[in-house]
Each structure stands twice: as C-alpha cells, then as structure tokens.
Structure 1
Amino acid sequence: MPHTPFRPGDRRFDEVPDGAARLTVWVRGTVQGVGFRWFTRARALEIGELAGFASNLPDGRVQVVAEGAPERCERLLAWLRSGDTPGRVGGVTEIWDTPRGGYEGFDIR
C-alpha cells in the first residue's frame, strides 16, 4: 500500500504506530555554505528524540528528514521557517508521511 502524506491533526494520524511521523522538508534560499546543515542538526538534537538527516542538494536547496513525535517535528519545522537560521531561507516545502526508520540519530550528509 503506498504512503499517503498527511499532517498532524488529520484523522488518519492516530493510525500511525506510536504516534510517530516522518517530516521531509526542502529549504530553498541561501542555505548552502553557511552552516545550515550543522545548525539544523544542533536544533534537532536540542529538540531531542528526532532521527534523520540534513543534506545539501545539487540545486542549492537543503533537504531535511526528521522522524519522531509530531510535536517535535513541528518544532523543527517552525525553526526552519523562523528566520532564525543561518543564511537566508527563501521558502520551505514540507511533506508529512509515516516513518520508515533506519536512522540512529540525526546526521549531516
């Protein structure tokens, strides 16, 4: 069965095992070469209990994948949108999904 994106608060969200979520975010703007991935990892570790990664993409965006409690994912997303990040965020696109696992912490790729 294919994964269907959803947002916390949707009726289906209660069906996710252990209430965990997978958040994938693409951040565009001036976000490479400014410590963005390092600060994203630091923020994820500060929030706690998030697993995933931050990675530079060839087109200049940064991709962030975080799995954990939806409230913790929401906190990371709010920070990515806050303007309190390194560089200059021009926009943020997000997709919510069910967790896939396979991460042992939050890494920089």
Structure 2
Amino acid sequence: MENIQVFSVFEISRHIRQVLESSIEALYVKGEISNFVHHSSGHMYFNLKDEYATLRCTLFKNANYKLSFKPADGQSVVCFGKITSYEKGGSYNLNVSSMVPAGIGDMQAR
C-alpha cells in the first residue's frame, strides 16, 4: 500500500482537464440543440445531442454576436469549439466559438 499514489479529487480532475485540452484540438460537432438558455449575461448555454449522446455547450457573449441566426431547441447545428473540463462540476463541455445552422434536427422532425 505504501507505493500506491493517491490523488485528491482536484488533482485527478485537473489532470483530466490537462489531458483533454492538450490532446483534443478545436473541432466541429454536429447535433441538435436542446435545453437552450440565452442568459442575461449574454452567454448561451445548451446541449448538443444525437440519438446516442449529449454534450454540454457554452457560447460566450463575445462569440454570440457573430451568429447569423437565433439558436433554438430542435435546430440541427454545426458548432466549432474546444473541449474543456470543469473541475468543480466534474464535467466536460464544448466551448463554442462559432455555430451555423444545419436544418431541423432528426429528433425534432420525429
């Protein structure tokens, strides 16, 4: 037991964040918007989902002015951004820097 390295929750969470952010470059993700909230701060919070998974997303105020459309639940979109992890919440998130419409989402069409 003496040779076992024990991490604090923060240490392992920080390590996960470093691995995620250093190994995954900015990327495009296509999905359907759900749980969309345009916060009074100007930030936009939503989930991107498909039939198999859900990804939490944030579009900060400084990036949302570039949008050419008004995002809403049920829209299919392509987002460009960077995956990050939040130690306190123990979750990962896509920080979106741009987003374009891609039609009506498959799940909304059903």
- Provide the TM-score with structure 2 as the length reference: 0.22
Which is higher, the Rg of structure 1 or of structure 2?
Answer: 2
Q: Point out which structure has higher relative CO (alpha carbons under 8 A, 6+ apart).
A: 1
Higher helix share: 1
- Provide the TM-score with structure 1 as the length reference: 0.22
